[in-house]
Structure 1
Amino acid sequence: MTNKAKFLSTIVFTVFSIGNSWGQEAYPNKPINLIAPYSAGGDSDLAARAFAAFAQAPLGQNIVVVNKPGGSGIIGSDFVRRATPDGYTLLLARPGSQSILPALAPENTKYKWDDFTIVGMLELNPYGCAVRKDSPFKNYEDLADALKTRGTKLNYGTAGIATTNDMGPRLLFTLLNLGDKVPQQIPYKGTGEATSALLSGQIDFSCGSIGTMLNLIKDGQLRALLVTTPNRYKELPDVPTAAELGIGDMSQIIGWSGIYAPIGLPKPVIDKLVQSLMELDKNPGWRNTTEKIGSIPNIKGPKEAAEFAKNQYETYLNLGKRLNIIDKLN
């Protein structure tokens, strides 16, 4: 090889090496945005902030929680779906935005349940129904009787159409055979807003993840009437389960949180994020924080999380057919 050829070869190798090193720059090297698709103070916000607080150590970067509420979670979710798949825009996935809407309103939802890279699961949220402390409904039986006799005169709050806050009452009304004599739904931008409305007396009752209501229930400002967990929730041992009350089908409704990203996320980035989830699972600080906000730590990797997400989608698809609401939401 001539000296000129050797020189050109060296230049090509150097340029390639520099370009290759740039392309393999360690992830993450800047802050990560975590999109919570509902308003501040609700389940997605609480889960996102717990994740951000404790996952920044294993990731080595700050995680910035950005609330993008609207469209029952569609706006924030679709923002992440369309984002550059580089690991710097993540989604705090929730059942309403990731399972219920794709199942019940596929024409109005801008994505399918699997139009994301499913990184993993974070937690499960015990689900239940509650009233304020001065409500005339002292227990589930009181509420059920009122729903049967004057359902149209009552109202209830949700985090929007096609969320677990919405689906739980819809199923309950069906189990009670209310027909079209149902309470008026008042949709808010998140569970936190619905809980505030319940506390202030703007609505008669609300069903949703217990976490948002837990401290208010413990303080006596709200009263829980039922939970949908298989066994009594340890934080509220005096509250009966749906199965105990003869409405076991309500156990299909449960909240959860996961970490999603755009399709096309590079494997090294996925591996780093999954590794951070596994570290989180061993962190007593995150586990304690998650339990304090009323959730159950439930870390799962990509495969198990995808299987769970598919099962949730199919559950609500079947439930939508049973309740005859799919066409009504499209």
Structure 2
Amino acid sequence: MANSSDAYPERPITLIVPFGVKSDSQTYAQILAKHLKKYLNTTELVIENRVGDSGAKAASEVKLMRPDGYTLLLARVGSQVVAPALKPSLPYRHTDFTFLGVLLIEPLVCAVRADAPFKSHHELTQALRKSPGTLKFGHAGPGTIHNMSALYLMRLAGLKLDSATGVGFNGAIEVKEALLNGQIDFMCINAGSFISLIKDGKIRGLLTTAPGRMPQLPELQNSREVGMRDLGSILGWTALVGPPGMPPKLVGKWRATLQALGKDPQWLADLAAMGAISALGTSKDSDKFMQEQSELYQRLVPIMGLQE
């Protein structure tokens, strides 16, 4: 492969997506495929979904593929660092892959219904402290960052983890519907799911986990501004990785390609419409980010009693 890396890619590249066709992962895969054609000799990215075990099925399969650059994984926070923290018996860790770059981050928004009595996260945590166990929060599964962010919010506020009752649903769409119809009292979920609802006045955002103010919701404070700095570590994110052992020339080619993509105005606009932020920086920054994320969930999962 080393001799032909200069001509790479010469045929379509398979992009494995670890979640279903209605997921945000699928949307980001489609956005990536659309824009990469401009930088990879118009080569097509063929999207294939490998659903199962919170993303671990896809990651486990890609780890065993040939490292020729023709099978890549759209790595998500759930598949790469949360799943191994939840289930240490999984046959991989995030360092077992050829890392090409973090593509984007998705801040979370913690929110309540517009008619809720809580005007701020301080008022919400006060209510949890006053009447523990009476309020409910929604999530898309015990091991999701939706669940962990709500639990971490309570922990950072000095509350017990059972101060609110978690209610699981089948995906983010059902969680939003549950909030709107009064089945739950609050939730912390990917910001893109909230933007239109907040702007329409149907729900009230309390905070985001964005590193700064979100351009789409400039009036909404982030976790650092409201005194919950560490909550800002809970983010959705998407990276691009390949099987272990990809040749250095291919890795360099991909990293240069992603650097160019990170400056593409149309790429940036498509991410902004989803409530996401391009994270295509230096490889050193991305490597550090991945390691910090892995360490975060290795620490949080046992504390929250979620490890299998």
- TM-score by structure 2 length? 0.85
Which structure 2 residue ranges, 5 or more long, are not aligned? none
Q: Does 1:75 align with 2:53?
A: no
Which structure 1 residue ranges, 5 or more long, are not aligned? 1-18
Q: What residue in structure 2 maps to residue 145 of structure 1? A: 126
- TM-score by structure 1 length? 0.80
Q: Does 1:279 align with 2:260?
A: yes
Amino acid at match of 2:195: L
Q: What residue in structure 2 maps to residue 240 of structure 1? A: 221
Structure 2 CA distance for aligned equivalents of residues 169 and 40 of structure 1: 26
Structure 2 CA distance for aligned equivalents of residues 189 and 25 of structure 1: 45
**1:99-119 CA distance string (max 9 Å, x none):** 2333x3352433112111101
**How many Å apart are 1:263 and its aligned residue?**
0.7
Structure 2 CA distance for aligned equivalents of residues 111 and 35 of structure 1: 16
Larger radius of gyration: 1
Identity %: 35
CA distance change for structure 1 residues 20 and 218 in 2, over 3 Å: closer, same or farther? Answer: closer
Structure 1 CA distance for aligned equivalents of residues 266 and 114 of structure 2: 32
Once the two structures are superposed, the pairs formed by residues 1-330 of structure 1 within 5 Å of their partners are 26-59=7-40, 60-102=42-84, 104-188=85-169, 190-192=171-173, 194-199=175-180, 201-320=182-301, 323=303, 325=305, 328-330=306-308
Structure 1 CA distance for aligned equivalents of residues 116 and 167 of structure 2: 18
**1:198-241 CA distance string (max 9 Å, x none):** 45555432213212322332233332111123433232122222
Aligned residues: 307
Q: What residue in structure 2 maps to residue 10 of structure 1? A: none
2:82–2:297 Cα contact (<8 Å) kept: yes
Amino acid at match of 1:65: I
SS in structure 1 at match of 2:213? coil
Structure 1 CA distance for aligned equivalents of residues 163 and 25 of structure 2: 28
Cα RMSD of the aligned pairs, angstroms, is 2.9
**How many Å apart are 1:173 and its aligned residue?**
1.8
Identify, as 1 or 2, the structure richer in helix. Answer: 1
SS in structure 2 at match of 1:166? helix
SS in structure 1 at match of 2:66? coil
**1:110-130 CA distance string (max 9 Å, x none):** 311211110112122222212
